Amino acid sequence: MILNVEYRHKNNFENFFLSVKNKRVAVMFDLNTKPFALPIIKELKDNGSMTVEIFFPAEELIPTGENCDLAYNLANGCDYLLAVGSGTLNDMGKYVSTRLSIPCGVLATAASMDGYCSKGAALMFDGVKVTKDVNTPKDVLIDLEIIRNAPKQMTASGFGDIVGKYTCLTDWEMANVVKGEKINQKAFKMMEQARADCLNAYQDLTKYDPDAVAKLMDALIMAGLAMAECGNSRPASGSEHHISHYLEMDFVKRGEKVPLHGVKVAIGTLISIELYNYLKDNKIQFNGCEKVYNLVEKLPTVKEIESMLVGMGSPIRFSQIGVRREVMEGAIEKAHTVRDRYTVLTLINELGLTEKVKPILMEKFY
């Protein structure tokens, strides 16, 4: 499927409206995104589409199996599904449309995460976070005025997700050195270039300059395309994401509001960089260690990342976002089990260093 990415200021979504003319379009949204859903529903009707509304009256929508089933039943019989939102709604839209064998799209409401174009949907079944294989969206619609005026924490979250590409790509290279895991060079370079383009626009991004916000959105979209190219999430998700996923499951289990994904990823990135430097500074010996030390030299420092995160208004300690002390300790011990993927967390565990690094990480990042 060819991806259509449209910015409203360029062509007012003309390609999208033309492609769904005379079709039955299900529009899925929640309480937060309702102000953006209602205008697009009117535009769809004005451009010759029939619409079905899938409204979740919730401020904190959880992508449970039950909510996905509800959306599935309402969208059944439609030709297309448009999600209006970011992370949760986008993932639910991809999952439900894949089950229905119809194309889907998303009207992005925040530059908050990198899953817009990924072939995975992060859902919650029986309190456990799982990733389902899904079709990529046909359309990504971007109105920079909506994106720029989203809550600043949302943009900080998206930036945190891109910052996480430092450690996820290093994890991939490290796994290649230590375990011989193959690297998809095309996907790797796609993500590396997108990260560079976004971070080069950092100063303007802190001012919410439209071009810089577009660079952030482009990087987030490219992450999904890199994952699609690779066939899995390796180009965009590593140890920093595993920490985030572990913590998220605890918030859901306790029925509490989940901190933004990219905010958790950003702090997880600080932890991963710290672990890589621990290995290098202490000359820990393992297969390919000298090559891994060279990879560590290319990483930004913890202080450099912290400075950028603070500049975007992002927390840099897990205690700032309501993570319990014992849960962070559990993440240090067990987050490497969240995904069957070799990362610095796995290496630390295999080397028997978990208990040695735990007090260091708790002091610096809790």
DSSP conformation letters of 240-303 = HHHHHHHHHHHHHHTT-PPPPHHHHHHHHHHHHHHHHHHHHHTT---TTHHHHHHHHHHSPPHH
Q: Which two tokens stand for residue 43?
A: 């535009």
β-pairing, 4-7 with 24-30? unpaired
Which residues of the chain form CATH 3.40.50.1970?
4-148
Q: Which of 273, 291, 288, 294 is nearest to 344 (CA)?
A: 273
- Residues 235, 203 contacting (CB under 8 angstroms): no
Q: What was the pLDDT predicted at 128?
A: 80
pLDDT of residue 115: 85
Q: What is the predicted pLDDT for the residue at 118?
A: 85
What pLDDT is stored for residue 2 in this prediction? 67
Contact 153, 263 (CB under 8 A): yes
Residue 86 contacts residue 54 (beta carbons within 8 Å): no
What is the predicted pLDDT for the residue at 360? 98
Extract the tokens encoding 317: 């300690």
The identity of residue 126, as a single letter, is: D
Output the CA–CA distances (angstroms, integers) from residue 101 to 3, 92, 93, 94, 274, in the order listed: 17, 14, 12, 10, 44
**What pLDDT is recorded for position 1?**
55
> With respect to CATH, is domain 4-148 assigned 3.40.50.1970?
yes
List the chain pLDDT tens, one digit each, 366 residues: 568 999 998 889 999 999 999 999 999 999 999 999 999 999 999 999 999 999 999 888 989 999 999 999 999 999 999 999 998 999 999 999 999 999 999 999 999 988 899 888 989 888 787 889 999 899 999 999 999 999 999 999 999 999 999 999 999 999 999 999 999 999 999 999 999 999 999 999 999 999 999 999 999 999 989 988 998 899 999 999 999 999 988 888 888 888 999 999 999 999 999 999 999 999 999 999 999 999 999 999 999 999 999 999 999 999 999 999 999 999 999 999 998 999 999 999 999 999 999 999 999 999
pLDDT at 257: 85
What is 152-365's CATH number? 1.20.1090.10
**3-class SS shares of the chain: helix, strand, coil, % to 5:** 60, 15, 30
Residues, the chain? 366
pLDDT score for 130: 85
C-alpha 150/C-alpha 98 separation (Å) is 28
Domain with CATH 1.20.1090.10 in the chain: 152-365
- H/E element, 327: helix 325-334
For 180, the 3-state DSSP assignment is coil
Q: What does pTM read for this prediction?
A: 0.89
